Amino acid sequence: MIKEKIYKYIYLMIISLTILTLLRLILFVSYESDFSSLTTMEVIYSFLTGIRVDIVSITTSIGILVLLLFAPFKFTDNKLFLKVIYYSWFFVFSIICFIIIADIIYFQYVHRHMGNEVLAMNKDDNLLIIDMIIEYKYIMLSYLIAMYIVFKLFSNIINKEFPTQSLGYAKRFGIFLLVLIFIVANIRGKLTGKPFSIADAFVINKIASGNLALNGFYTFYRTISKKQKLYKFYPYKEALSTTKGLLKSNKFKFIDDKYPLQRQYIQKEKVKKHNVVIILLESWSSKYIDSFGNNNLKVTPNFDYLSKNGISFPNFYANGQRSIEGITAIYTGIPVLTEFHSLGKGLELSNLSYIGNIAKANNYSTIAMQSSKGSSFRVGEISKIAGFDEYYGAEDMPLLGDEDKNKKPKFGTWDGNMFKFLNFKLKTMKEPFLSFAFTATTHAPFVSPGQRWEPYPHDKINIFGFLNTLNYSDDMLGEFMESAKKEPWFDNTIFILTADHTIGFGNDKNMFKNTNIKIENRDLENQRIPLVIYAPKILKPKIIKKIGSQVDIIPTIIDLLSWNASIGTLSNSLFDDSSNGFVLFSNSQYFGMVDNSGYVTHNLKNKLESTSNENIEKKALSIYQVSSKLLRANILYKEMK
């Protein structure tokens, strides 16, 4: 019976994959303009990646059935049992096809695949699946006819006689183990590393490629774990008006009512071809940096020098509390608010104004790297989606520093190795260039690179360990800047240094006896991070007290360089005196907003805290309501041609 089971599994899988490929072809033909940016080879690559997505989708759905099919027990050879398994496969597959067909219909409204937002649809929503089924009854009828044909194909295979072979229990058990490994590998999409994800489907650095490779069933179940709700705090027009008021600026103008938050930069000067180097510093919190926290910790002398001789922003905040949220904010200008998805978790399904793509549209070379391994946070795949043509992780970087050879950082390589590699790669980049580099050594647990960087008693899990690794990372930053000053590209370069998020205070007040650090007001202070823009040959040193956050970096760069660009961000330039400075931040339980009047935190049901006498709650809820609606409908941003 084993041979028969193998034959039938192969035939049924071929039928299933063929049907899903045909559905992908229907998507391609139906929305040809959405995929017009793809070359013939890119279309082929996308279809091949789509087969991989389909294998993961099918195996995830029927994996348990296949394991039961090959279970090493005699009852699994019973004909009735086998028919139940095979026809259950058909039943599950018909559901997959139904969801994909509904997704193809859905695609015309949002020009991306469905995610878990469909769970939040209500009867008033124009995109409700049940309404589409009624409206597209002929398509549903075609689906039923097609499924009948597929049923017949399945039945022919199920009832067909194949060569049989009886095996002993030991061999059957061995085959079962092999099948188990095979199923797990197919569900993961790969044997090693992190499982295949939505971001992995973007094999070509184009949104169209990912949309062609993915299917609606896969994107739905991959995002289903975090159910989103539709929130309507105010009438939509009122909420939109409030949101536009927050984003109003003399430097950007709204350009399209269909994409109500998309804005075009108002160029008043020619494009400036300055290089841009963005350095994202792991867990660097304002309170631990003397030039920002005034706490006399003496572990960041190099950063303090850059702050003194650059433009510093003391009222700058992280939009989230995780690294991927900081990366998402910088790459897209969109904060990962409560119940929102980050890049790598579904946000990339929407059309976004990525920083790398904007740079390339202005004839910039692009490169990204991180001290962590390439698979960490899927930054490699995400960076490609965001428009970075080159990407490097820890595995690409040689060990060149003086760190303790008997120790190894928990995540990737030492920051010193990355900074040396960054300097080496920038020498080879065509100017002007945009680079992004993300450090890692200051991530817990705090592995010390050596005693020379330990001004405090070292501990891997408390704040002293962090301060020691912070001292090391600052030293490596200083070495990088000194090396960069010797390069011909330095004088024409703007360095942007900030953090991904903060690190906590700890609860031991004795640690802070000789500092100004206070444990009070954690909600706000746990978001405050440094920002320094350093360009000694281009920008004069000063302090800008405007409130800002990571999402402001895209419009700030556009403003500094006078790029020709349109954006769909929830932010403005930090150099824009005409706009309102505000910050949106969140953790998994609540989100908040900061502006000049104070701050508010909210759990989407109730206001939690507020220090503002103004109606900051309305501003926060309005921009949340509008941005979530526009992201869900994929009308936050449209690429300009």
Q: Does 249 map to a domain?
A: no
Domain boundary among 200, 223, 246: 223
The rounded distance, in Å, linking the Cα atoms of 576 and 156 is 69
Type of residue at 192? T
Of the candidates 350, 335, 116, the residue with the CA atom closest to the CA atom of residue 227: 116
Do residue 273 and residue 350 come from a single domain?
yes
The rounded distance, in Å, linking the Cα atoms of 194 and 241 is 43
Do residue 332 and residue 210 come from a single domain?
no
- pLDDT for residue 507: 53
The rounded distance, in Å, linking the Cα atoms of 26 and 30 is 6
Q: Does 244 map to a domain?
A: no
The tens digit of pLDDT for each residue in 481-535 reads 999 999 999 999 999 999 999 886 555 556 666 666 665 555 577 789 999 999 9
The CATH number of the domain where 529 resides is what?
Answer: 3.40.720.10
Do residue 72 and residue 141 come from a single domain?
yes
Return the number of other C-beta atoms located less than 10 Å from residue 22's C-beta: 12
Of the candidates 588, 599, 121, 584, the residue with the CA atom closest to the CA atom of residue 338: 588
The tens digit of pLDDT for each residue in 209-223 reads 888 999 999 998 887
Do residue 209 and residue 298 come from a single domain?
no
Q: Does 248 map to a domain?
A: no
Of the candidates 94, 74, 90, the residue with the CA atom closest to the CA atom of residue 8: 90
Q: Does 232 map to a domain?
A: no
Q: Does 355 map to a domain?
A: yes
The rounded distance, in Å, linking the Cα atoms of 98 and 136 is 13
Do residue 323 and residue 411 come from a single domain?
yes
| Ramachandran angles phi, psi of 529, nearest 5° | -130, 160
- pLDDT for residue 520: 54
Q: Does 203 map to a domain?
A: yes
Domain boundary among 223, 248, 272: 223
Owning domain of residue 168 = 2-223
- Average pLDDT, 10 consecutive residues per value, the chain (641 residues): 88 97 95 88 96 96 94 89 95 96 81 70 46 70 94 94 76 90 91 82 81 92 72 95 97 96 95 97 94 90 98 96 94 91 86 97 97 84 95 93 86 95 97 98 92 91 89 98 98 98 68 61 76 98 98 98 97 93 85 92 84 89 96 90 65
Do residue 186 and residue 313 come from a single domain?
no
Do residue 186 and residue 281 come from a single domain?
no
Alpha-carbon separation of residue 29 from 35, 38, 236 (angstroms): 9, 13, 35
Domain boundary among 223, 244, 265: 223
Do residue 382 and residue 445 come from a single domain?
yes
Do residue 333 and residue 429 come from a single domain?
yes
Do residue 548 and residue 451 come from a single domain?
yes
How far is residue 40 CA from its own chain's centroid?
Answer: 28
The rounded distance, in Å, linking the Cα atoms of 611 and 626 is 24
Q: Does 241 map to a domain?
A: no
Q: Does 501 map to a domain?
A: no
Do residue 293 and residue 219 come from a single domain?
no
Type of residue at 96? I
* Burial of 296 (C-beta count, 10 Å sphere; 0-12/13-18/19+): exposed
Q: Sign of torsion, CA 257 259 261 266? A: negative
Residue 378 is inside which H or E element, if any? none
Do residue 352 and residue 469 come from a single domain?
yes
Q: Sign of torsion, CA 544 550 552 555? A: positive
Residue 268 is inside which H or E element, if any? none
Answer yes or no: are the C-beta atoms of 199 and 381 closer than 8 Å: yes
* Burial of 562 (C-beta count, 10 Å sphere; 0-12/13-18/19+): middle
Q: Find where tokens 């049901």 sit.
A: 605
Say which residues have a Cβ less than 8 Å from residue 77's Cβ, sequence separation at least 6.
1
- pLDDT for residue 588: 63
Return the number of other C-beta atoms located less than 10 Å from residue 31's C-beta: 17
Number of domains in the chain: 2
Rounded to the nearest 10 degrees, the angle between the axes of helix 2-30 and helix 137-159 is 160
